[in-house]
Amino acid sequence: MRDDADRFSELPRAMSARAPGLWLAEAALRRLLDQIAVGHLTIVTPDGRRLSSRGGRPGPEATLVLHRWRALRRLATGGDVAFSEAYVDGDWSSPNLPAVIELAAHNLPDISARAAAWGPARLVNRVRHLLRRNSKAGSRRNISFHYDLGNAFYRLWLDDGMNYSSAIEIAPGQSLEEAQAARLDRIAEMLEILPGHKVLEIGCGWGALAATMARRGANVTGITLSREQLAYARESHAADPALAGRTDFHLVDYRDVGGRYDRIVSIEMMEAVGEAYWPVYFAKLRECLAPGGTAVLQVITIAEDRFETYRRNTDFIQRHIFPGGMLPTKTHIAGHARAAGLEPVESLCFGNGYAQTLAEWRSRYMAARSRTEPLGFGPAFHRLWEYYLGYCEGGFRAGAIDVGLYKFRG
């Protein structure tokens, strides 16, 4: 039993005296403090009190600063989506946002689902998510929503190669650029790229991996649904004589790709496909992969024991960052691959590397804040993206989500 339990028993009366009528906020705070079994949470209330709860097992040390009581009411009635919106609106903050998310992931895996079920928020968010299904037209809208914010925006905080996916690790003294180059080399090695190979990259981003493979002598076809990414990849590769004639980029849906390729690679694309289309995605991989060919996917996954709750609800990422997205589990990846006729060969998981990468992105993003405003991104957008990067970092640190490279044979 925590040594501060008596103090918590006095909390509802004290809060009610100071803020009559906020019973929903009081109930949410009681539940929050009562469920800390891992780590240490300190809550600073709007009237300056500091309330702490330490779990029986070691974990993150997190501080949550409430600027308005309504943040707790929003959590109680709208779950984690509403609580994230409360952060964007300035209702709460933290000196270490990823630690708050990590602590919540360890201690409160079901609280947002239960809270959202109390009101219409769960239904509203679920309907919004379903309306963003990844039909061909829907996929174009969903991809554009996130990736067409502008190349100038992403250049401010991504590495020099414009890699928007995780490094395997960032070793002490290593730059993000060096870590990302090492990952690209590792992917090329897993693909067993040889001169003259025909390679299809589904979801080619800004072209960094295509450049790595082309420099090894491959002929790469890259596809994307982002006009901004397409323009950047074409322009940057056209300016590099070493890539002349070896890369070709197209604005096309993966479902419309034809032909056969010696190698196929797809980096953090499955997450954007949508659960209903996972069989279609893997069937297309098999259709386009030459007999005996190799495919490598980099995929963010959600923990097996969290999937059903996640699947039934709409989270912050689906609502505000990646419309139409859905994280699979590792079991889903292997199962859909085998069903399509692809045999799993090798996997490499590196969730901590993603936490490191996100920490570096968040640091760069915060440093570039003043330069995002002339691009048309105001304070609310900035806080939304600050929360997004911290939310993901905390999730990886807690092990709620993971990332891996998965190799298959055709």
Nearest to 28 by CA among 65, 77, 94, 92: 77
What region, left, alpha or beta, does residue 268 occupy, with left being phi > 0 and alpha being psi -120 to 50 degrees? left
Whether the CA torsion 383, 204, 324, 357 is positive or negative: it is: negative
Taking residue 320's Cβ as centre, other Cβ atoms within 10 Å add up to 19
Residues serving a catalytic function are 392
Nearest to 126 by CA among 259, 309, 264, 251: 309
Pair 387, 97: CB distance under 8 Å: yes
Whether the CA torsion 56, 58, 60, 62 is positive or negative: it is: positive
Residues of 118-139 as b/e, b for ≥16 C-beta within 10 angstroms? eeebbeebeeebeebbbbeeeb
311: its two tokens = 């699947």
Rounded Cα distance between 158 and 208, Å, is: 12
Strand order in the sheet with 247-251: 247-251, 219-224, 198-202, 261-267, 289-302, 401-409, 343-349
Rounded Cα distance between 99 and 396, Å, is: 11
Rounded Cα distance between 59 and 51, Å, is: 18
DSSP notation for 229-245: HHHHHHHHHHT-GGGTT
